[in-house]
A and B are shown apart, each in its own frame.
Chain A
């Protein structure tokens, strides 16, 4: 519970104990590792190979037991435990992945048992990492990064192992390795799609939509009547499926990027309008009175106080819009494009059952989206460094 977290450790060094989760996981991993030595690792109709047929894997299992046993007995702990557990789990994952790549669809019960062992060790390493309280902030930052990365890496590892181990048809779900191969094999196509959709449609539409929303908000703010009339409508429109205007925009502006940019403009306009108007109203009475005592005129009040106060709201809109813009441009391409673009690629390759290409496109889109969002967040940190949610 959160109340406990802020406090310092108890006085007398209590005997080191593992929590319930860790005890269960460590015991389970140990038991499974031992049991797996007696189960077939690779099995098909014609053959069954045990652990001893794969010396590298056997060595890994040995290493796992050597780390797990003292860990379970509470002899191994702290940063060393976290590091050793992580190393063993990744090494096991690597060996398991290369093993199953050679025998797709022939995973035996021993194989799956070892997958569970490796996963349990990875979880334990994360438990240990999460419990570390390093003195140096740099280490703290590194751990805060390592934990989600481990989680993401294991998502990919399990995906790879499950898909290859069960020989899932590639048209249903390709393994990450195939997607990676596709990704590095077709950079020209992906780059052309990226340029068409992101650099043209998304960025231009985003700049126009956000800029227009911001300027209109400042105008609207000067006229209380308009503010009262437009704010409820803007709020309503923000909740509507605006994406539906895509076919109309395609009809009006043609198949090429201007129609995508137009969809993005419409989608990003209203969140920016609503947020900026709200932000401009965020200045409280006392601060307005202060500007009043200085006899500041409207532009001075706007520039020196109300716009800076509104910045957190503006950046909120910029962040929301960075996601909306990408969605808008991709979905708009479902309604018609020249033969290039991320949305076009996704919809046509799905039709051709080239699912690995689809995933490669999605990976590019995800990366672009995250980077875009990250850049906006960095800008936010720089501009609104004074705000409590950024300050530390």
Chain B
């Protein structure tokens, strides 16, 4: 893994904008109970589109 997204679950408001912005399938998922987004880092290519779209700065690429 070279670069991948990390989500701060405390800040995430579950708006799903990142999910609609990700060019790769099955990377980001939405938990309907906690209403938070989580990432499968092994599938992430680290493009950062989700970071650009997140209105709360809850995501970063490391």
> Are A and B genuine complex partners?
no
